[in-house]
Structure formats: structure tokens, C-alpha cells
């Protein structure tokens, strides 16, 4: 049975099992510092127990940036929620169908139940919570230059210009990485994140592109500035019941802070601070603070809940295997160029 069919079969149980706050995408928080008043269990060595497999599927349809037309409105109206709930119910019904509809439209895509869709409506209008308008802050001059360069590459592809080399494709398309932020921001599928703990360490395993981050908790310093990577160098600590992870030492001008690593490529000055706060038996409130003074004029923050779901498993992400897209794209481009040259 596929993950989507299993999810559809238990959706009534899920809604009854989740607290009302989580069903509407709001974490239950309290206390003077805004941290959850719910106390998680402890590991045998005394750290707050965050372990489990979590997914951000419910946030798939929530844009990273709030549409400008919504202004300062951070939540959906009751009418918008009702419309979205009806759409989710229709999707669940389609996923339960064993056979395609008679005379249905034939496509090259998979059946709908192969996909992953939200289980419940989230009232949020953006994943960005700071600035208050739900949008990224203005870019620096360097950020604007990089955005223009990225837009030029995208325009070239939309105009069917053949790729000059593999470097014309981003790192996600090349099955290398989505970067740190892109690995946890919700996308169309494989939104799982598994948290594993051991004395002195936390390991975050991201389902899509199957990357693992081993994070020490002993407050050791970051590695030297000459050591850089796609996922950076992470160091963690517990502040009360919240796991705080600070990551630096990123490659320059490679990956953006967006879904699947898209967006304006960040710089080697990028600093990401993540906060994982368990707010209930099956929910963690996730927060990401982005600071890159070379690209953005001020820090900005993303926040959303991730949840444990009955039946959800981490699936292998086999991106390269039997994937001939890169070879075919480049060889096709060279063949087109050769044919054009022969016509001259």
C-alpha cells in the first residue's frame, strides 16, 4: 500500500487524535518566553526526547513568502479555510479510487495516490513570520546582482536555450543536495525528517536527497573558515526543552534559502539558527532564523509545525538510479548544436 493510501485510510483517526491547535497549524505555546508549557519526556541521559519521524506535508500549499496582495494578513479567513478543506476532501476521495475514471484524461504523470498532500488545513498565509509582512527583507546590492543572474539563467531555459554544461543545472536537479534550509522546507513529496539522539549528539536525517546531519552538543567551536560544505557546519545545544542548532561554514554562491534550495544564492557569511521545540506528543514547532549580511539587509525568520503521522515512513530517495535526464539533456543539446551548424 502506498503512503498516500495509508494516510487516507487513517485520516479520520488522525483528525480526532490531533489537538485543535495543531489541526489549524498553530502550536500550543505559553509561558513568558513563548516556549511550550508542555514538557517532553527525557532520554536516559537527561536530554529532552525529540526522537521520531516528522513531516511538513501539511505546509505544502503555504508559500514561503506571503502574497503581496494579502498585506499584513497572517491567517486565512474562515471562507478560505472551508474552501481548502473541501479541496482536501476531494483529493482524499480521488486517492481512494482503485481505478482511473472511464475516459479520463491520460497523462505522463503517476496516479494521484502516489503523491503526498496535506492532511489538514493550516491557516497560515506564509512560512515567513518575520518580517511582519511575511516576505523576505530587501536584498543588498550583491543580493540583487545574484538574483538578476539567476533570473537570466531561468529565462534562457524558458526560451529553450540548450544547456552549455551540467553547471547550468542547480544542485537539486543534479541530485546533489537541496541545502540545509531546502531540506526541511515543505515541498511536493518526501517531506520527512527523522530525529535520532545519542549522548552528546543529535542526528537529523532528511528524507529527500537522503542527507544526514550529525550535530555535536558539547559546545565545541565551529571548524575553521577554510572548511565549507553544502550543509555547513552545525553545532547544537539545549535551551530548556528547545534544541538550538547554529550552522555556519557554507559554500558561497551555490544554493538559496528556499524550497529545494531555490532562491537567491547565499554567501559564505550565511548563518542559520534552527529551534526545535516539542509542543505535544506528536508535534514539534520548528523555527529557522536566516542571517546573511552580504545578501539580505536584515535577518528573517521562518516557522511552522512538523508532525508525526500514523503510517508515515522514510522512503529511499533514489535520484540518480535509472535517471538519464542529465545525460540526455546534454547530449541532446550538443546534437541540436551540431545539426544547426551543419545547416549553415
Instruction: Tell me, yes or no, whether 102 lies in a domain.
Output: no
User: Range of 255's domain?
Assistant: 40-60+130-326
Instruction: Tell me, yes or no, whether 78 lies in a domain.
Output: no
Q: Of 223, 308, 334, 290, give the one whose Cα is nearest residue 64.
A: 290
Instruction: Tell me, yes or no, whether 65 lies in a domain.
Output: no
Straight-line distance from the first to the last Cα atom of the chain, in angstroms, rounded to the nearest whole number:
56
Other residues' Cβ atoms within 10 Å of the Cβ of residue 171: 18
Instruction: Tell me, yes or no, whether 279 lies in a domain.
Output: yes
Q: Convert 196-221 into a string of H (helix), E (strand) and C (coil).
A: EEECCEEEEEECCCCEEEEEECCCCC
Query: Which stretch of DSSP H or E encloses residue 84?
Result: helix 78-95
Instruction: Tell me, yes or no, whether 49 lies in a domain.
Output: yes
Find the angle CA(88)-CA(91)-CA(95) to the nearest 5 degrees: 140
Contact in structure between 123 and 76 (CB atoms under 8 Å): yes
Instruction: Tell me, yes or no, whether 48 lies in a domain.
Output: yes
Show pLDDT as tens, one digit a residue, over the chain (344 residues). Answer: 345 434 433 333 333 333 333 333 333 333 334 455 678 899 999 999 999 999 999 999 899 999 999 988 999 999 999 999 999 898 888 878 777 667 777 776 666 777 778 888 899 999 999 999 999 999 999 999 999 987 776 554 555 567 788 888 888 888 889 999 999 999 888 899 999 999 999 999 999 888 899 999 999 999 999 999 999 999 999 999 999 999 999 999 999 999 988 889 999 999 999 999 999 999 999 999 999 999 999 999 999 999 999 989 988 888 877 778 888 888 988 998 899 889 87
Instruction: Tell me, yes or no, whether 134 lies in a domain.
Output: yes
Provide the domain count of the chain: 1
Instruction: Tell me, yes or no, whether 283 lies in a domain.
Output: yes
Contact in structure between 220 and 226 (CB atoms under 8 Å): no
Amino acid at each position: 500500500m502506498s503512503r498516500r493510501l495509508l494516510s487516507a485510510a487513517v485520516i479520520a483517526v488522525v483528525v480526532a487524535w490531533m489537538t485543535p491547535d495543531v489541526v489549524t497549524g498553530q502550536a500550543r505555546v505559553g509561558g513568558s518566553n513563548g516556549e511550550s508549557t508542555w514538557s517532553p519526556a527525557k532520554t536516559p541521559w537527561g536530554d529532552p526526547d525529540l526522537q521520531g519521524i516528522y513531516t511538513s506535508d501539511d505546509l505544502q500549499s503555504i508559500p514561503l513568502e506571503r502574497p503581496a496582495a494579502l498585506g499584513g494578513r497572517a491567517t486565512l479567513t474562515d471562507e478560505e479555510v472551508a474552501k481548502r478543506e473541501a479541496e482536501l476532501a476531494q483529493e482524499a476521495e480521488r486517492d481512494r479510487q482503485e481505478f482511473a475514471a472511464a475516459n479520463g484524461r491520460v497523462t505522463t504523470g503517476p496516479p494521484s495516490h502516489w503523491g503526498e498532500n496535506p492532511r489538514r488545513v493550516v491557516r497560515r498565509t506564509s512560512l515567513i513570520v518575520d518580517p511582519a509582512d511575511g516576505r523576505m527583507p530587501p536584498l543588498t546590492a550583491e543580493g540583487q546582482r545574484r538574483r538578476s543572474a539567476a533570473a537570466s539563467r531561468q529565462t534562457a531555459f524558458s526560451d529553450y536555450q540548450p544547456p552549455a554544461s551540467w553547471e547550468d543545472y542547480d544542485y537539486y536537479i543534479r541530485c546533489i543536495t537541496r541545502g540545509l534550509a531546502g531540506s526541511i522546507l515543505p515541498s511536493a513529496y518526501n517531506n520527512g525528517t527523522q530525529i535520532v539522539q545519542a549522548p552528546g549528539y543529535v542526528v537529523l536525517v532528511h528524507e529527500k536527497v537522503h542527507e544526514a546531519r550529525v550535530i555535536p552538543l558539547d559546545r565545541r567551536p565551529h571548524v575553521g573558515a577554510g572548511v565549507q560544505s553544502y550543509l555547513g557546519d552545525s553545532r547544537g545545544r539545549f535551551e530548556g526543552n528547545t534544541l538550538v542548532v547554529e550552522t555556519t561554514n557554507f559554500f558561497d554562491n551555490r544554493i538559496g534559502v528556499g524550497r529545494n534550495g531555490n532562491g537567491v544564492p547565499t554567501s559564505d557569511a550565511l548563518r542559520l539558527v534552527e529551534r526545535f521545540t516539542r509542543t505535544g506528543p506528536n508535534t514539534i514547532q520548528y523555527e529557522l532564523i536566516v542571517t546573511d549580511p552580504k545578501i539580505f539587509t536584515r535577518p528573517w525568520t521562518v516557522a511552522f509545525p512538523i508532525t508525526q503521522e500514523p503510517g508515515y515512513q522514510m522512503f529511499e530517495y533514489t535520484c540518480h538510479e535509472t535517471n538519464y535526464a542529465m545525460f540526455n539533456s546534454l547530449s541532446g543539446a550538443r546534437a541540436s548544436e551540431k545539426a544547426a551548424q551543419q545547416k549553415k
